[in-house]
């Protein structure tokens, strides 16, 4: 038995690849770096900061794209054992781009011997990166141009002759620089948000293929084994019941009952067809099997198959967010069409949330006469027209026609191209399309989404949760919400740096205490829950600093979409007439910045940075304040 280096669980090594020159090198991961940034998005954002120059465009070859594993990747740890994160400057927001995926790719990257891979440059022609333990090569992928991520996966495994090679790949959308292109592994597991697939496309990088055969060892095998056993037991209990039974689509009827199910591009807050696209209906009529990721027996992947009709045989994994985006948000109440839409979105390799918001935006523009039938190439883009939705998705995936090309830029940039008042219908924050909640009736969520460093996101601080669970008055923003959001934000940063699946977060009954124990059992590095929370806060500030450095991180970028502030909920019931007022929103921002120890402009203070050990980056806040 041998280990790659003297660290436990961590590989202790970072791989660098320059696609322009083909140069490959490695460097050690220091224990200091490991303990301060954990892994996953924390380590990834620090590497992004340190390896990029201010103002570099997301599609510039110098913009690095970082594949990072977590400390637990490659171990038997359920969910944490199987993740990886991708970090880069986002072509959608111009700030931090990051997303995580589980499945089978992450553990092999760790076993190949790397905590992170920093990829820069641009290959001369379409290529893929082949990481075979210590042997790293760049291989021609021209014969895979236009292929879906899954076809690419199969092709590479055939070309290299090993079924157990794991592949993370882009589809046509990534090749064509769609700004919400995803990277997909294991057929339907996506590095979905913030357009990481487009960054790969800009580097002529079709895929990363990996085979890792080294051992991954933990510091305390017996203790770790007992901990894993305990989590397995908890996973059989109530903490994960939702994910194992109806799955996240359960949210459809829950949010609908709260008038929080964004419908027809945030026109309505309830959907008359909710029953027909509910989790209950989906499971009864379409779900064939529920499968899972490596090392995780929780199983949550609801594999839906269309049994009859025009889309017969269409198969896809379906979760709430994508179901909502291509369902209620587009006014579509046909699950067969939603499953088909999800399937083709995975084939083109696009973010299943953003694509739905983009289509709904186009429908809203069409219904308001902002775009004409001529401009849609004859597609009747009315809300609820499922065939039209699928037709326009194909056009966006291929960047076909004037509208398809414009929409592939995401709603923010598409609105600029379309003009004619289209920006009113573009529902995004910082350039990232909104996920599945009506922020008019979930106002903690409104504040939380607006301050998320990667743009509109429900998974940067889980701010929808106190609203949905009724812990606060969800119809107003008041003092105190800032602390809720900041505290949860820190925890979510830890979760995404350990790369623990958020579906399993309920199994850590003692919260950060459990997570700290998990970390120490695996790595042998002692850490207290308080230190772990500090790491979460450090990562939040670091991401904010990157955004500030890129001119996207101050108060004026923490915004809400026009419709959320200006179009009252029309549906009858307690939510009727609600919008987020400018006044309460500004109170919320003040509260959040104060809790964070930031200035009223939303800039971390030099003292805060010193406290977090980020003193080397003080120049960024000095420059921002000097220029303000």
Partner 1 sequence: MVRPQDRKFVTADPEKCIGCCVCEYACSMTKEKTYNPTKSRIRALRMGPLTNLSVTCRHCEDPACVAACPKDALTQDENTGIIRVNEEACNGCAWCISACQFGAMMIHPEKKVVFTCDSCEELGEPQCVKWCPEEALNFVTAQTLAQKSRISAVKNLFQEVKEKTVQK
Antiparallel, parallel or unpaired: β 116-120 and 13-18: parallel
Q: Note whether 65 and 200 are within 8 A (CB).
A: yes
Is the distance from CB of 519 to CB of 535 less than 8 angstroms?
Answer: no
- Pick the closer one to partner 1 by CB: 297 or 524: 297
The nearer residue to partner 1, 289 or 368, going by C-beta atoms, is 289
Cβ 174 to partner 1 shortest distance, Å: 22
Strands, E, within 333-426: which ranges?
Answer: none
Nearest approach, Cβ of 172 to partner 1 (angstroms)?
Answer: 21
Q: How far is the CB of 108 from partner 1 (least distance, A)?
A: 9
Q: Is the dihedral of CA 375, 378, 383, 389 positive or negative?
A: negative
DSSP per-residue letters across 428-484:
EETTEEP-SS-TTT-HHHHHHHHH-TTSS-STTT-THHHHHTTSS-TT---TTHHHH
Residues that bind partner 1 (CB under 8 A): 1, 74-76, 78, 81, 104, 111, 163, 186-188, 213-218, 221, 225, 232, 235-236, 288-299, 301, 303, 305, 315, 317
DSSP line for 588-610 = HHHHHHHHHTB-TTS-B-HHHHH
Distance CA 539, CA 533 (A): 10
Considering the complex, state which of residue 92 and residue 304 has its C-beta at the smaller distance from partner 1: 304
Q: Nearer Cβ to partner 1, position 216 or 260? A: 216
Tokens encoding 40? 């996953």
Identity of the residue, 236 or 368, whose beta carbon is nearer to partner 1 in the bound complex:
236
Which of residues 90 and 504 has its CB atom nearest to partner 1 in the complex? 504
**Complex with partner 1: residue 256 or 295, whichever CB lies closer:** 295
Query: CB 600 → partner 1: shortest distance, Å?
Result: 49
Provide, rounded to whole angstroms, the least separation between the CB of residue 229 and partner 1: 8
| Distance (Å, whole) CA 613 – CA 223 | 31
Query: Smallest distance from the beta carbon of 82 to partner 1, in angstroms?
Result: 8
| Pairing assessment for the beta strands 96-101 and 84-89 based on DSSP bridges | antiparallel
> Residues in the chain, how many?
628
Q: How far is the CB of 522 from partner 1 (least distance, A)?
A: 10
CB of 225 to partner 1, least distance (A): 7
- Report the alpha-carbon distance of residue 352 to residue 325 in Å, rounded: 7
* Closest approach of partner 1 to the CB of residue 109, in Å: 14
Strand-pairing partners, residue 97, are 88
Coil, helix or strand at residue 38: coil
What tokens were used for 396? Answer: 């966006």
For the bound state, the minimum distance from the C-beta of residue 231 to partner 1, rounded and expressed in Å, comes to: 10
Separation between Cα atoms, residue 234 and residue 228, nearest integer Å: 10
Nearer Cβ to partner 1 (207/543):
207
Of the pair 240, 541, the CB lying nearest partner 1 is at 240
- Helices 352-367 and 410-418: crossing angle in degrees, nearest 10, is 30
Whole-angstrom CA distances from 291 to 2, 151, 251, 294, 362 are 34, 21, 20, 10, 35
466/349 Cα distance (integer angstroms): 33
Nearest distance from C-beta of residue 81 to partner 1, angstroms: 7
Residue number, 340 or 467, with CB nearest to partner 1: 340
Name the nearest CA neighbour of 361 among 326, 334, 397. 326
In the bound state with partner 1, the residue whose beta carbon lies nearer, of 72 and 620, is: 72
């Amino acid at each position: 038995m041998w280990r790659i280096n003297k660290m436990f669980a961590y590989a202790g090594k970072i791989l660098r690849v320059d696609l322009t020159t083909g140069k490959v090198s490695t460097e050690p991961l220091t224990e200091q770096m490991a303990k301060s940034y954990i892994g996953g998005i924390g380590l990834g954002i620090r590497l992004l900061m340190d390896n990029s120059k201010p103002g570099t465009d997301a599609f510039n070859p110098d913009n690095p794209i970082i594949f990072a594993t977590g400390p637990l990747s490659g171990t038997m740890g359920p969910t944490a054992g199987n993740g990886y994160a991708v970090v880069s400057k986002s072509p959608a927001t111009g700030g931090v781009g990051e997303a995580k995926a589980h499945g089978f790719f992450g553990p092999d990257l760790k076993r190949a011997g790397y905590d992170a891979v920093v990829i820069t440059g641009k290959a001369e022609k379409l290529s893929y990166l082949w990481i075979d333990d210590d042997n790293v090569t760049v291989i021609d992928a021209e014969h895979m141009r236009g292929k879906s991520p899954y076809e690419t996966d199969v092709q590479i495994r055939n070309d290299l002759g090993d079924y157990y090679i794991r592949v993370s790949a882009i589809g046509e959308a990534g090749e064509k620089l769609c700004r919400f292109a995803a990277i997909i592994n294991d057929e339907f597991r996506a590095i979905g948000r913030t357009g990481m697939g487009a960054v790969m496309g800009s580097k002529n990088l079709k895929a990363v293929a990996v085979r890792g055969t080294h051992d991954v060892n933990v510091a305390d095998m017996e203790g770790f084994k007992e901990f894993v056993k305990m989590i397995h037991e908890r996973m059989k209990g109530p903490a994960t019941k939702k994910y194992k039974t109806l799955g996240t689509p359960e949210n459809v009827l829950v949010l609908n009952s709260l008038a929080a199910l964004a419908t027809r591009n945030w026109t309505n807050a309830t959907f008359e067809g909710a029953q027909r696209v509910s989790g209950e209906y989906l499971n009864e009529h379409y779900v064939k099997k529920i499968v899972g990721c490596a090392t995780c027996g929780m199983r949550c992947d609801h594999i839906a198959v269309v049994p009859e009709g025009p889309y017969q045989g269409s198969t896809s994994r379906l979760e709430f967010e994508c179901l909502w985006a291509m369902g209620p948000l587009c006014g579509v109440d046909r699950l067969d069409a939603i499953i088909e839409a999800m399937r083709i979105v995975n084939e083109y390799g696009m973010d299943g949330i953003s694509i739905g918001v983009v289509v709904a935006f186009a429908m809203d523009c069409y219904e308001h006469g902002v775009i004409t039938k001529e401009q849609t190439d004859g597609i009747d883009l009315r809300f609820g027209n499922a065939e039209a939705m699928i037709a326009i998705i194909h056009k966006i995936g291929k960047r076909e026609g004037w509208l398809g090309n414009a929409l592939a830029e995401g709603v923010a940039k598409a609105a600029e191209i379309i003009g004619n008042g289209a920006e009113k219908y573009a529902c995004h924050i910082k350039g990232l399309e909104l996920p599945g909640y009506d922020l008019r009736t979930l106002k903690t969520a409104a504040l939380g989404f607006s301050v998320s460093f990667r743009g509109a996101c429900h998974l940067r601080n889980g701010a929808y949760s106190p609203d949905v669970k009724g812990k606060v008055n969800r119809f107003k923003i008041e003092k105190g919400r800032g602390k809720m959001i900041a505290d949860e934000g820190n925890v979510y940063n830890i979760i995404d740096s350990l790369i623990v699946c958020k579906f399993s977060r309920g199994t850590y009954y003692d919260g950060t205490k459990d997570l700290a124990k998990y970390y120490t059992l695996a790595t042998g590095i002692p850490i207290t829950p308080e230190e772990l929370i500090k790491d979460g806060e450090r990562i939040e500030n670091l991401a904010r600093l990157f955004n500030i450095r890129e001119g996207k991180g101050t108060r004026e970028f923490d915004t809400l979409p026009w419709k959320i502030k200006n179009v009252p909920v029309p549906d009858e019931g307690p939510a009727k007439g609600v919008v987020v007022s400018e006044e309460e929103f500004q109170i919320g921002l003040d509260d959040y910045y104060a809790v964070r120890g930031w200035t009223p402009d939303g800039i971390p203070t030099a003292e805060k940075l010193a406290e977090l050990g980020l003193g080397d980056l003080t120049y960024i806040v000095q420059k921002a304040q000097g220029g303000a």
